[in-house]
Structure 1
Amino acid sequence: MASKIIKGVRFIFKKTYAVCYIETFSDDLKNIIKQQLSSICYGPSKASQPRKAYNYINTVRSFLERYEKKAEKTKIGMVGELLTHIFILQFLTEFKTVSPFFNMEERSITKGFDILLYSKNQNELWITEVKSGELQKDKNSNQTNNILLGKAKIDLKTRLNENKDTLWENAINGATVALDNIKDTKEAVISILGDIEDEIYEQKAVSTDKNVILVTSLFSNLKDQLQENTIEKFYTSTLNEKIFRKVLVLSIQKNTYKKVVEFLKDEAKI
Structure 2
Amino acid sequence: MEGIDVEVTESATLVIVRAISEDFRAHVRGRLAEYCYGAVTVSEDLNFYSFEKTVAEFLRRYDPKPRTTQLGMAGELIVHVLMPLLHAELTSAAVYFNKEERSIKKGFDLTFLGSSDTAFWYGEVKSGEVSASSSADEKAASLIEIAASSLASMLDDAHHLSRWDAALNDTRLTLEGGYASTARELLRSDSETVRQGGAIRKRAVLAGAVMHELDHCEVTNEGMQQILDSISTGEDFADVRILVIQQDALEAVVEHLREVTIA
Preserved contact between residue 134 and residue 220 of structure 1 (Cα < 8 Å)? yes
Residues in 2 aligned to 1:51 and 1:92: alpha-carbon distance in whole angstroms: 26
Which amino acid letter does the alignment assign opposite residue 237 of structure 1?
S
Q: Which residue pairs with 1:214 in the alignment? A: 206
Gaps of 5+ in 2: none
Greater alpha carbon shift after TM alignment, 122-131 vs 16-25 = 122-131
Q: Which residue pairs with 1:200 in the alignment? A: 194
Which amino acid letter does the alignment assign opposite residue 42 of structure 1?
Y
Gaps of 5+ in 1: 1-5
Q: Within the alignment, does 1:74 sit opposite 2:66 as a pair?
A: no
Preserved contact between residue 127 and residue 208 of structure 2 (Cα < 8 Å)? yes
Q: Which residue pairs with 1:189 in the alignment? A: 183
Aligned structure 1 segments of 4 or more residues deviating by more than 4 angstroms = none
Deviation at 1:170, TM superposition (A): 1.4
Q: How does 1:75-94 map to 2 (within 5 A)?
A: 75-94=70-89
Please give the per-residue CA displacement for 1:78-120, whole angstroms capped at 9, x wherever unaligned: 1111111121111211111101101111133421110101113
Q: Which residue pairs with 2:59 in the alignment? A: 64
Q: SS of 1:30's equivalent?
A: helix
Residues in 1 aligned to 2:195 and 2:83: alpha-carbon distance in whole angstroms: 32
Of 128, 132, 136, which aligns to 2:131?
136
Q: Which residue pairs with 2:169 in the alignment? A: 173
Residues in 2 aligned to 1:128 and 1:122: alpha-carbon distance in whole angstroms: 17
Preserved contact between residue 96 and residue 119 of structure 1 (Cα < 8 Å)? yes
Preserved contact between residue 135 and residue 218 of structure 2 (Cα < 8 Å)? no
Residues in 1 aligned to 2:133 and 2:108: alpha-carbon distance in whole angstroms: 30
Deviation at 1:122, TM superposition (A): 4.7
Deviation at 1:28, TM superposition (A): 1.1
Could you state the TM-score of these two structures normalised by the residue count of structure 2? 0.95
Preserved contact between residue 117 and residue 179 of structure 2 (Cα < 8 Å)? no
Aligned residues with identical type, % of pairs: 25
Q: SS of 1:118's equivalent?
A: strand
Preserved contact between residue 111 and residue 122 of structure 2 (Cα < 8 Å)? yes
Which amino acid letter does the alignment assign opposite residue 168 of structure 1?
W
Q: Which residue pairs with 1:3 in the alignment? A: none
Residues in 2 aligned to 1:218 and 1:40: alpha-carbon distance in whole angstroms: 21
Greater alpha carbon shift after TM alignment, 97-106 vs 107-116 = 107-116
Preserved contact between residue 40 and residue 172 of structure 2 (Cα < 8 Å)? no
Could you state the TM-score of these two structures normalised by the residue count of structure 1? 0.92
Please give the per-residue CA displacement for 1:108-163, whole angstroms capped at 9, x wherever unaligned: 34211101011133531111111111113521111111111111111112111111
Please give the per-residue CA displacement for 1:238-270, whole angstroms capped at 9, x wherever unaligned: 111121110111100011111111111101223
Preserved contact between residue 126 and residue 208 of structure 2 (Cα < 8 Å)? yes
Calculate the aligned-residue CA RMSD, in Å.
1.4
Preserved contact between residue 156 and residue 194 of structure 2 (Cα < 8 Å)? no
Q: SS of 2:44's equivalent?
A: coil
Preserved contact between residue 97 and residue 118 of structure 1 (Cα < 8 Å)? yes
Q: Within the alignment, does 1:98 sit opposite 2:93 as a pair?
A: yes
Q: SS of 2:144's equivalent?
A: helix
Q: Within the alignment, does 1:269 sit opposite 2:252 as a pair?
A: no
Which amino acid letter does the alignment assign opposite residue 112 of structure 2?
L
